[in-house]
Structure 1
Amino acid sequence: MADKVLDRGPWTGCAVLFLQSLCPDVNLLTLYKDQQGKRVIFKVIKLTLVDSAGGLGGCEMLKFHDADPFLGVEVKFVDLGACQQFLESYSSGAVGQSISQHASRILAPAQEFTVKTQLKAGTHVLDRCLDKLELCLQQIHLSQPERLRDEEIDQLEEELQREVLGPPVQRIPSNCFRFQNKVFEDRMLTAADVQNFANGVGRQWKHVGRTLGRECRALKDTAIDNLAYEYAREGLYEQAYQLLSRFVQAEGRAAKLSRLVKALEDCKLTSLAESILDIQPQD
């Protein structure tokens, strides 16, 4: 089943990791409501994801949830291999051990810290079927993230980077975005952007469409398949042109350049992103 899902293009999914401290002196929900405590929890979970998913390239935290007596951490996976590695680590108990080790060092250095965990994808409790890896992967894939990353997570990420690296050299304005260590003004997509995209994306237009479709209801799989059928005779240019035009029509002012560039990056089409941004090749 996992192979069939992977064949359809970029793989994404979502799961929520629920945590409850078994240490009498540490209540994660109480700690989460304190700004300093929230930063510590974020650091512990991030270190755990690095340990259990082979780094952060294949996953990211989206949001914290108050699920008394649990603290929930919503995790988005953008790589099948990273998700599989995380599930294997979770099944073996390595995720719980990693949380306990990092938390003992950061939260409760004077005592052993233990934690109770639960993993869910939508309404499915994955702890009940951890011996069925493909089923767990399918449930995570079906539980697509319904939101962008919470601004609170962005702030915590920035604070952690400042702690590790020092103050950033350049703070990006809210109306800009960063690509290849350069800052670009974020704006609505133009007709020229649509044409450049259609000219350069080729057969990868469906993959880009599904990536944009993670956060755009108008570009779900059925809509993309319908576009492929409806404009089959006109060829790849028209199919890609209609795809991005539909994205612009559906999203309105939210159809921003940064979203298209991020989708192209996710699909490993950086050269096309450079072309749309008019980045000249280095000699």
Structure 2
Amino acid sequence: MADRTLERGTWTGCAVLFLQSMSPTVNLLSLYKDQHGKFIVFKVIKLTLTDSAGGLGGYEILKLHDADPMLGVEVKFVDVDACQRFLKSYASGAVRQSLSQHASRLLTVPSEFKVETQLKASTHTLDLSLDDLELCLQHIHFAQPERLRDDEINSLEQQLQKQALNHEPQPVTLPLQDNPVPSNCFKFQRGVFEDRILTAADVQSFSNGVGRQWKHVGRVLAKSCRALKGPAIDNLAYEYEREGLYEQAYQMLSRFVQAEGRAATLSRLVRALEDCKLNSLAENILDVQP
């Protein structure tokens, strides 16, 4: 297995993620079969996979199919690191949380929207082996994709890219210059955004984009977070050196969230990014075009 994971240029694998809404008012399979709902459901899935795999690269959706009562998402992985990040996110529950977050926002459903998931590679149900991620990775690697990307998925991908090109930022409000910012909001550039607790998707977006600057952001956050003071950041860098920058950044911000609880807000992260001249990363996390 170790030899195969080192062959990063040729590594591929396939898994199927099964989704089922637990809300009585939302049926993901029925929504996907609806012409209007199809694109929105696809966008929810695409954003979730991008969060969990650490970016747009490393995977592609091959097909969405009817697995009544579940919606099946066939995913081809072309990068072992992206697959490992996805598995870690899935095992921690972050994939389910990200699905819930994006579905609540895009499908206009209650914030407590929940979804049940199952992950399979060929005949192997990976949910039963999540304590052994190397074994899950091996099952995915041996379950090679049997088809090219579906034409319908090609069409949805093109539609998503077109929407991204035409997207205009829509913050919560754009108050007059003399108006005070509401207490539950914060100002960033020319917009005012609703504040909230950091989510798993925020942590993953940050970790994917911050690169070597994660230490600088951590030291800014440490000014108001005891868990990051002293040698904590250097210790994280040493402890997760082998896993790379993504994991170091992920562990730092996760520690901030765990320590601060409900006080680990989006506004605190955005202000830290501004202090470190990382406005483009803040724009990405806020889903704002520069």
TM-score (normalised: structure 1): 0.57
Q: Which position in structure 1 is the counterpart of 2:5?
A: 6
2:11, 2:141 within 8 Å by CA — same for their partners in 1? Answer: yes
Partner Cα separation in structure 2 for residue 111 and residue 129 of structure 1: 30
Q: Name the residue aligned to 2:141.
A: 141
The answer to whether the 8 Å contact 2:22/2:115 transfers is: yes
Q: 2:101 touches 2:111 (CA, 8 Å); kept in 1? A: no
User: 1:147 & 1:20 partners in 2: Cα distance?
Assistant: 24
What is the DSSP-based 3-state SS (H/G/I as helix, E as strand, rest coil) of the residue aligned with 1:139? helix
How far apart, in 1, do the equivalents of 2:131 and 2:92 lie?
Answer: 10
Root-mean-square deviation (CA), in Å? Answer: 1.4
In 1, Cα distance between equivalents of 2:110 and 2:87: 30
Q: In the TM superposition, what is the alpha-carbon distance from 1:110 to its structure 2 partner?
A: 4.1
Which residue in the other structure is 2:42 paired with?
Answer: 42
Name 1:99's counterpart in structure 2: 99
User: How far apart in 2 are the matches of 1:72 and 1:15?
Assistant: 10
Contact 2:12 2:144 in 1 (8 A): yes
User: Alpha-carbon deviation of 1:108?
Assistant: 2.9
Which amino acid is the alignment partner of residue 3 of structure 2?
K
Amino acid at match of 1:95: V
- SS for the counterpart of 1:41 is helix
1:29 positional shift:
1.1
Measured in 2, the distance between the counterparts of 1:145 and 1:26 equals 30
Which residue does the alignment assign to 2:73?
Answer: 73
Query: By how many angstroms is 1:32 displaced?
Result: 0.8
Residue 4 of structure 1 aligns with an amino acid whose one-letter code is D
Deviation at 1:102, TM superposition (A): 0.3
What is the DSSP-based 3-state SS (H/G/I as helix, E as strand, rest coil) of the residue aligned with 1:108? Answer: coil
Q: How far did 1:141 drift?
A: 0.3
**Partner of 2:187 in structure 1?**
none
SS in 2 for 1:105: helix
| TM superposition shift of 1:109 | 3.7
In structure 1, what is the equivalent of residue 119 of structure 2?
A: 119
Write the distance in 1 (CA, Å) between the matches of 2:95 and 2:116.
11
Amino acid at match of 1:121: A
How does the TM-score come out when normalised to structure 2? 0.55
1:123-159 CA-to-partner distances (Å, cap 9, x unmatched) read 1000000001111000000000111100100100111
**Map of 2:108 onto structure 1:** 108
Q: Which residue of 2 aligns with 1:249?
A: none
Could you list the runs of 5+ residues in structure 2 that have no partner in the other structure?
A: 168-290
* In structure 1, C-alpha distance between the alignment counterparts of 2:142 and 2:111, rounded to whole Å: 40
Per the TM alignment, residue 164 of structure 1 is displaced from its structure 2 partner at its CA by 1.8
By how many angstroms is 1:6 displaced? 2.8
C-alpha displacement at 1:112, in angstroms? 2.2
Does residue 26 (structure 1) correspond to residue 49 (structure 2)? The answer is no
Change (3 A) 1:116 1:110: closer
Partner of 1:85: 85
Deviation, 1:114, is 0.5
Between the aligned partners of 2:78 and 2:121, the Cα distance in structure 1 is 15
Larger Rg over CA atoms: 1
Distance 2:133 2:101 in 1: 26
Deviations 1:81-114 (A, max 9, x none): 0000000000000000000000011113444210
Matches within 5 A, 1:114-193: 114-166=114-166
User: How many equivalent residue pairs?
Assistant: 166
After superposition, the Cα gap between the structure-2 partners of 1:162 and 1:123, relative to the gap in structure 1 and judged at 3 Å, is same
Q: Aligned with 1:149: secondary structure?
A: coil
Specify the code of the residue in structure 2 equivalent to 1:166: N
- Between 1:40-49 and 1:107-116, the stretch displaced more is 107-116
2:191 aligned partner = none
| SS of residue in 1 equivalent to 2:63 | strand
Alignment of 1:217-236 (within 5 A): none
Query: Once the 2 structures are TM-superposed, how far is the Cα of residue 7 of structure 1 from its aligned partner?
Result: 4.3
Distance in 2, Cα, partners of 1:142 & 1:103? 31
Aligned partners of 2:56 and 2:161: how far apart in 1?
A: 14
Q: Who is 1:52 aligned against?
A: 52
Separation (CA, whole Å) in 1 of partners of 2:110 and 2:49: 24
Q: Which residue matches 1:266?
A: none
The separation in 2 between residues aligned to 1:166 and 1:107, in whole angstroms, is: 20
Instruction: Give the Cα–Cα distance (whole angstroms) in 1 for the partners of residues 40 and 15 of structure 2.
Output: 21
